[in-house]
Amino acid sequence: MLLLAILFGFSVSLLTQWLVERSLDSPVVLIEKFVVLERSYNAGVAFGITFPYQDAVVGVALALVVLLALAKAESLLSHTGFGVIIGGAMANIVDRYPDGLVTDFIRVGTFPSFNAADSFITVGVLLLLLEGFLRTRPFS
């Protein structure tokens, strides 16, 4: 299941980035200027934040997540959570490779723009947190 989740997060993220690059030429308002699809580029790691050696730090962090997934993923929730985190991170690395920029295209309110890969990473973290909560809080 881990591999399937990785492939899903990776392929959907890259597909959306490819579609945005080729077809999103002007903003598309989805909800009253609150949710807008608009292509932008990001040199940072998260929320446009940049720092020295960020590519190396991201590579090391991804390697650690892979090792943690191989060692700790046991349930469907953890396989899915780790998988979409790894797939999303790999997609952002691939997108960044040619020019040092990641393609973002979702803007919600005043929150910084993000992409599908960022969403997969966020959902993956939430799934792992949910699993941790469920394991420590038995239901009666």
pLDDT digits over 37-50, tens only? 999 999 988 777 78
pLDDT digits over 84-102, tens only? 999 999 999 999 999 999 9
Res 46: pLDDT: 77
For residue 40, give its domain range.
2-136
What is the distance between the alpha carbons of residues 81 and 129, in angstroms, rounded to a whole number?
A: 9
Domains held by the chain: number: 1
95 class by beta-carbon count within 10 Å (0-12 exposed, 13-18 middle, 19+ buried) = buried
Catalytic residue from among 25, 95, 99, 118: 118
* Alpha carbon separation from 73 to 5, 9, 119 (Å, rounded): 12, 17, 20
- Per-residue pLDDT band for 138 (boundaries 50, 70, 90) equals low
What is the distance between the alpha carbons of residues 39 and 111, in angstroms, rounded to a whole number?
A: 15
Residue 25 bears catalytic tag: no
Catalytic residue from among 25, 55, 99, 104: 104
Identify the residue with better confidence: 137 or 25.
Answer: 25
Residue 104 bears catalytic tag: yes
